[in-house]
Amino acid sequence: MKNRLQKNISLGTSSDSTGTVVRIRFHCAALITMISFYFVFANNAWTAERDAFTKIIKPAFQKHCAKCHGAESEVEGDVNLLQLQSDNLTTNVELVSSLIEVLDLEEMPPEDEPQLQQKLRLKLVTELKVILHESVAKQKSFSHAPIRRMNRFQYNNAVVDLFDLKCIVFTLPERMMRDHREYFKPETGKMADVVTVGSRPLGKSQMIESRLAGVAAFPQDLRAEHGFDNQGDHLSMSPLLMESFLKLGQSITQSPDFVPKKIGIWENFFSPPDTEVDQAAEVRRRLEPFLSRAFRRPIEEELLDRYVNFVSHQLDSGIVFPNAMKSVAAAAISSPKFLYLYDKRGESKTAETIDDFELASRLSFFLWGSIPDHTLLEFAAVGKLKEPEILDAQIDRMLKDRKLKRFCDSFPAQWLQLERIISSVPNREKFPGFYFSKYRASMHMMIEPLLLFETILIENQPITQLIDSDFTYRSSFLQNAYQDLRNDPKNGARKNGGSVGVLSFHRVPVTDRRNGGVITNAAVMTMTSGPERTQPITRGAWIAAVIFNNPPEPPPADVPPLGEKPREGEEHLTLRERLSMHRERADCKGCHAQIDPLGFALENYDPTGVWRNNYQNGRNVDMSGTLFRKHEFTNVIEFKDAILEEKDRFARGLAGHLLSYGLARELEASDQIALDQITEATAADDYKIQTLLKQVILSEPFQSKTNPQATQTVR
């Protein structure tokens, strides 16, 4: 092989080029040496991998896992760990990722089985991570979101930005908090001490705002389970919906409010040109940048010709210039190239880097929920957007732009699942302080965590403030309700009255750590309770899914829910005792062991978030427990401390939510390495939230695509 390599590399040199031949033979020898080292290294790595599996992983599986996942048992989860060999483990990245997760979170082995020594557990996690890294590196591919349409929120923003509208297109109830008096100013790096907001789904007259008359919104896009409303597999396009989009585009440009004073691009796009100007050339000049922005990349000449010819036919038939341009604008915003989000067709089944225009779109839809602006597209056009210094500067610019409010209008409410507060109706007789007139305290409650998130983002504070903040925002009504309801639940909200229109919230310090952060917020406590009682299982599942991004499996279909009220003879029991009797089934114990301690940690908060020490039957509330089988706590402050001890898990969980939101898809095993890297970089900068966002954008999955082939060409 050595002689053959030397011969092949030497071909093409002349007999008298002695120096050239010597140099080539020298490089050839170096190449052979490098190849030899590679084979030795690869062989050593392969041998080390087999040794780790044989000496560490397999014996641990045999000793601690065989009862549930062995050849002689009824295999749980269709996973027989004793049948695994080193080779088939390295090709199953999903299984390896799952093993790392359950071992790292100390979910396995079950509590009633022999436990792993901590040293062995850490060694197993380390060796499995090595296997995962090598497997992902070999496969070099990431999942990709299917071709998908914009959701309703993104469509509204994109149309507003494209036309520079001075109003919204249609009302968006999914925006849970409305900005009054422009308090949101990220360019200042500081949130105002007093902000004025409105509660859109629950407040009075909050649907009245400047919008285009005669434009009806298409149905709201629902949030995916444990996901977001921009998930690609949820945003399909039926023929009926496509027809609706065609009508929608026309209704926008034909709205009586679609007039010069509300359209920022009117002069440059819709207004008639001077009579001496060549109209066809002028139409082309106006359409090229407009369509390039609408379609998020330079428009092809052939397609541009079609749009120009369309306008020319309109003008030739006697239609006035502004109306002809309105017609072509309506066609553009009804085009699949505008409506659909997708990456260009790839050339390989393995991961490849997205181009600059794709990166511009991912950035803008992630942080602004809309199409890229001119600056992003200009950098993309010259191929410089991916350059580290330019990309870093652009991310900073976007984080200081007021369009960042759209990220705050979409991500935090969905991440925290706050839409659940809308349907929360505590028993009016038991919790009268929750109601005033025909309204509920929930409209004030749900604004508090949203303002907390916005402040942490604008001021670039650590994400640990989301767990245990030293400040919060309260309306006077909410502040009085917290204080009065704690002393006497029959006072509070009803006595202090409540605004239902424009609400003023004040920044206040948190001096009692039972408050602060999103976990113990009254909105979360209320929406995870029933009308009569708290629901520790629901609260525990919320903590697992939202805080640690580890949602539990749904319960078996044949398990009846625990009744809201105690059964006869159980009135003297605590809720913990009632639930203990309820979950005796073997197939329920595993999940309950994970989520119950998380839920009972919040049991001192009643169904409206009011602190209590005793149940109505006089029994003491017992909220003690253990987090991840190693952090014991006896009160909610110790519970928060336990979570902060595991802040890397929280950072990794939040990174997963953000990456999933940014890529519009569920994450897979191949994304786990990136999450580790994002977490490590964020921790190195004191867990700053903007650093976390930057690292998500800089991650390989965010900047990669894997053969995203469309079934047909998008035109």
Judge whether residue 691 has pLDDT over 70.
yes
* CA atoms in the 13 A half-sphere facing the CB of 308: 19
Distance separating alpha carbons of residues 571 and 581, to the nearest angstrom: 14
Judge whether residue 124 has pLDDT over 90.
no
Give the pLDDT of residue 571. 63
- DSSP for 383-446? T-TTSHHHHHHHHHHHHHSGGGHHHHHHHHHHHTTGGGGGG----TTT-GGGEETTEETHHHHT
Distance separating alpha carbons of residues 522 and 518, to the nearest angstrom: 9
Residue 315's alpha-carbon distances to 156, 268, 284, 303, 606, in angstroms, are 29, 18, 14, 19, 68
Give the pLDDT of residue 518. 97
Better-scored residue on pLDDT, 243 or 561: 243
Contacts with 251 (C-beta within 8 Å, 6 or more apart), sequence order: 214, 215, 216
Residues 22-46: tens digit of each pLDDT: 444 444 444 444 444 444 444 444 4
Q: 189: alpha, beta or left, given left = phi > 0 and alpha = psi -120 to 50?
A: left
Whether omega before 109 lies within 30 degrees of 0, making that bond cis, reads yes
pTM, two decimals, is 0.85
CB atoms < 10 A from the CB of 59, how many?
A: 12
CB atoms < 10 A from the CB of 11, how many?
A: 7
Better-scored residue on pLDDT, 627 or 483: 627
Looking at residues 370-397, what average pLDDT do you find?
A: 98
Residues 444-482: tens digit of each pLDDT: 999 999 999 999 999 999 999 999 999 999 998 888 877
Distance separating alpha carbons of residues 617 and 608, to the nearest angstrom: 18
Distance separating alpha carbons of residues 636 and 539, to the nearest angstrom: 14
Distance separating alpha carbons of residues 302 and 299, to the nearest angstrom: 8
Under 8 Å between Cβ of 130 and 66 = no
Looking at residues 322-343, what average pLDDT do you find?
A: 95
Tokens of 107: 């979910």
Better-scored residue on pLDDT, 647 or 573: 647
Looking at residues 272-283, what average pLDDT do you find?
A: 90
**Phi, psi values for residue 545, rounded to 5°:** -75, -45
Looking at residues 479-489, what average pLDDT do you find?
A: 61
The SS3 of residue 508 is strand
Buried b (16+ CB within 10 A) or exposed e, 622-654: ebbbebbeebebeebebbbbbbeebbebbbbbb
- DSSP for 292-311? HHHTTSPPPHHHHHHHHHHH
State the distance between the two ends of the chain, measured CA to CA, in whole angstroms: 52
Looking at residues 264-277, what average pLDDT do you find?
A: 93
**Phi, psi values for residue 149, rounded to 5°:** -90, 165
* CA atoms in the 13 A half-sphere facing the CB of 629: 17
Judge whether residue 494 has pLDDT over 50.
no
Under 8 Å between Cβ of 468 and 642 = no
CB atoms < 10 A from the CB of 93, how many?
A: 23
Give the pLDDT of residue 340. 93
Residues 226-241: tens digit of each pLDDT: 889 999 888 887 887 8
pLDDT, averaged across the chain? 83
Tokens of 276: 């001496």
Give the pLDDT of residue 137. 72
